[in-house]
A and B are shown apart, each in its own frame.
Chain A
Amino acid sequence: MSKLLQVENLSTTFYTEDGMVPAVRGVSFHLDYGESLGIVGESGCGKSVSCLSVMRLIPKPGEMTADNIDFEGKDIVSLRERQMQQIRGNDMAMIFQEPMTSFNPVFTIGYQLQEAIRLHQKMNKHDAKEKSIDMLRQVGIPRPEKVVDNYPHSLSGGMRQRAMIAMAISCQPKIIFADEPTTALDVTIQAQILELIGELKEQTNTSVVFISHDLGVIAEMVERVIVMYSGIIVEQSDISSLFSNPKHPYTIGLLHSKPRIDDERAKLKPIPGSVPNPLDLPQGCPYNPRCEYVMDICRNKLPDMYEIDKNLHQARCWLYA
């Protein structure tokens, strides 16, 4: 597999009335062709902002900087807005968490699908409509020729998320960013949507970046995982060693916070305290106030990513220095 996307030292900062909020602080990762990558972390850890930054969708007064974001030989950071528009939607697409708010309520589903199709593919109105019906059928929406003229409010949450996926895949993108695509859905509907995303990925060999706070969903959907905390990557690994051999104390803490299916009465071991305020980050490793293995050096200096298993598994923790 070769690299489709390479992100180096990405930082995104928001300027608020209360001060500077460093949402993402020096994040580097890559994505191969046809790969599925998971980004896991709790709210505010910077997982969504990282992806929005790669798509250059950070609104002002937010600011994004990076040494390099290479997408198939193009440097995303230095592209003009017009060129970026060509990439967005066409080569990279996004599936948002809340399908209720991510559709425009005053236009029909079909109109919004056709808008995306016609913007990126030279097609007349009639063909675009045909294509949008076809896309809706592909994502398993019953009676697509009817639904295409429906407004978003008349669809259920699961159906709306299917329509969202139809829109995302309508231009055969190379990367799909799925930002908590099932968080707002019920378990049985979540199972439907996860199966659909998995199937579509198989068929089209699209690369998927799967953002979630749910380790279970991540375990089922991806090959490789990035764990984020307070705007930095704390651990990076292939899926099986992350769950069998987690290294960073935060990852270990997260895993102990969820009840295990195999071990019924294993006590939950929560992480004490809460996520640090981004306006007032602790010195050194951001996890140090909650970490049970904390050492003096953790309070002074942010550790590098240390290799656990060459090229497969890295952790940002002084324990492995």
Chain B
Amino acid sequence: MGDKMQESKGYPPARTINECIVEIVSDSGEGAQKAGETFGAISARMGNGVWTVQIIPAEIQPPARSPAGASGIRIRLASKYVTNMGDEADLAVAFNEQVLYWRIANGAYKQGTVVLLEDKWRDDPVEEIRAQYAKAVAEFRAHGLIVHELPIERACLEITSNPQRGKNMFVLGMLCQIFSRDLDTARAQITKTFRRKGDKVIDLNRRLFDAGYGFARERIDICYAIPPQPGHGGRYIVTDGNQAIGLGVMAAGMELVSMYPITPATSASHYLAEVYHKVGGFVHQAEDEIAAIGFALGASYAGKTACTITSGPGLALKTEFLALAVMAEIPLVLVVVQRGGPSTGLPTKVEQGDLLASLYGEPGDAPKVVIAAATIEECLHFVIMARRLAETFRTPVVLLTDANLATGVQPYPRPEPCVEWLAPPIDQSEWDESVPPYAWDDVTGLSSRPIPGMRGGEYVLTGLAHTKQSKVAYDSDSNQRGCEMRSRKLAALAGTLKPPIVHGDAEGDLLVVGWGSTLGAIEEAIDRARADGHKVSSLHLRFLSPMEPGLKEIFLRFRKVMTVEINYSDDPQAPLITRETRRYAQLAWLLRAQTLIDVDCWSAVYGHPLQPGMIYRVLLKHLAALEGNN
């Protein structure tokens, strides 16, 4: 981008490109996110692959014009399926210059990134602001950004007396001109965005949009076309990962979500609170995290498998109940939208730090199913799978997602729900009294459970060590037997799983293993390295407990295996770090134990999603080291 366009007919002809990353940054409350989401939806409707992600300030109302208050949105659009936020942005629209500092500090821009900057600060009555603005513009240019200063707010004033609130749709108009968006599609999407606000608001926003469109046509000599991705067709929905979880809860036929507010998980419950009644469901806001899971477990015990949604600190508080669910074999779906830790950590930022806590966070041996969604679409479908696994294997299922999936927005094929996805009506038939409540199958450990209301099924569930009659175990064998049976269920589940599919060749120099939201970035980095001729492949795990089979056989076909994760691990070059003292990334720990192969890792906790370019550079470094060993 940034090429000088040849002018003709008063505005430039569109140049076809395959992809572009756009950001809109502002103070919070200026509507940048709504503009970006609408732009993403318009682009998705036109057949582009799209990924949008919000830029979230840490406070609700940070002071205006402060770098840390940067709020906004990034939109990556392409002529192919997009799986992640990408690397540096190509174009940024900024409502003030200060917020750009934050994005630059985050490495969001590169030499040649075009910045369309609101210029009203240049003539601000406050001298200090004028000085800040002039200094910033000079610094940005020195940094290599191509800055266009534009009177955006002044142009909005011609349409609305409150440009602070209307500027976003004006900017949307600008972007739609710059990226040759279809006007009818754009206008229809604006109508949809404001459909609940009434005709007057829709009309005002459409006029602002039209003005922005015209403004860009006159004032900005950049115009691109990004053709639709091949094979685009069928119906698509556009959601973020938390909305996808909400849809999954409904599609799974679960009737209860019991939650306590925690960032970044809560928006899943917000969404459900709006629509859950349409499928007969209820969101319970509990008095605390512990009560939230206890309430869900109560409903599950009574035959209505429920879901509780939380994040790391909430997971920590829920562990005692989670262990009870394991011990007493109560189905439950626990969604953990991971954020940065430890402690309060980085509440709004991404991390994959709760894998080991999910597997091993409870006292004693508490085997349970742990799965991780790798895409927004999987957030939806994995909730449906989680309920089925929970009921079939009479166990809690932890579904891990993260802040990257929670805040990313993407189009994906609209699911076609069917009755089979829904929880069946609760069984109230008579229970054969000769069958104990834990009639463990000797081989698989599986048993079916009596549900209150089943005549003859009366038993007392307990978290104490118990016999298959659910009687408190006073003998030494029962505890051993119970642990054995609960563990065996995981082996039984593992037996139904397929080996994971390797992305790239089945053998080579380096295999990268990932899990969760890093899928898209890892595969993009792998594709880039493979295009350079490197023998690298990747593999992405969805099942973490039990793990998918055949890992060792796959790993042995590569000279080196490493994980790439968003959690902390020691840099092997750091002081005091030796092969003995090094603490590995979480999946690497598990894989080393599982396969007895010397699995290496690279991981980081900067609080932002891993980007393809970053992973690509890591790959090259590790490949070079491999070469050096030859």
Decide whether A and B assemble into one complex: no
